[in-house]
Amino acid sequence: MAAAIAKSYGCEMIEVLTGFKYIAEQIHRFETTGCNTFMFGFEESFGYLSGTDVRDKDGVNACMLIAEAASWYKKMYNKTLVDAIDMLYEQYGYYGDKVTSFVLPGKDGLAKMQQVMQALRANPPKSFAAAKVEALRDYQTSKRTCGDKVEELTLPKSNVLYFELEGGAWICVRPSGTEPKIKLYVNAVSDSAAETQRQLAAYSDAAVKLLESL
Cα–Cα distance for residue pair 103/128, rounded to 1 Å: 20
Provide the pLDDT for residue 133.
98
Spatial CA neighbour of 163 closest among 189, 143, 133, 205: 133
**CB atoms < 10 A from the CB of 109, how many?**
13
Phi first, then psi, for residue 91 (nearest 5°) are -80, -40
Q: Quick one: pLDDT band at residue 119, thresholds 50, 70, 90?
A: very high
Q: Enter the DSSP assignment of 204.
A: H
Cα–Cα distance for residue pair 40/61, rounded to 1 Å: 11
Provide the pLDDT for residue 98.
95
Radius of gyration of the chain (CA): 19
Is domain 94-213 classified as CATH 3.30.310.50? yes
Cα–Cα distance for residue pair 113/9, rounded to 1 Å: 41
Cα–Cα distance for residue pair 55/24, rounded to 1 Å: 9
Residue-wise pLDDT for 6-31, tens only, equals 999 999 999 888 778 889 999 999 99
Domain map of the chain by residue range?
Answer: 2-91, 94-213
Cα–Cα distance for residue pair 57/72, rounded to 1 Å: 22
pLDDT over 80 at 46, yes or no: no
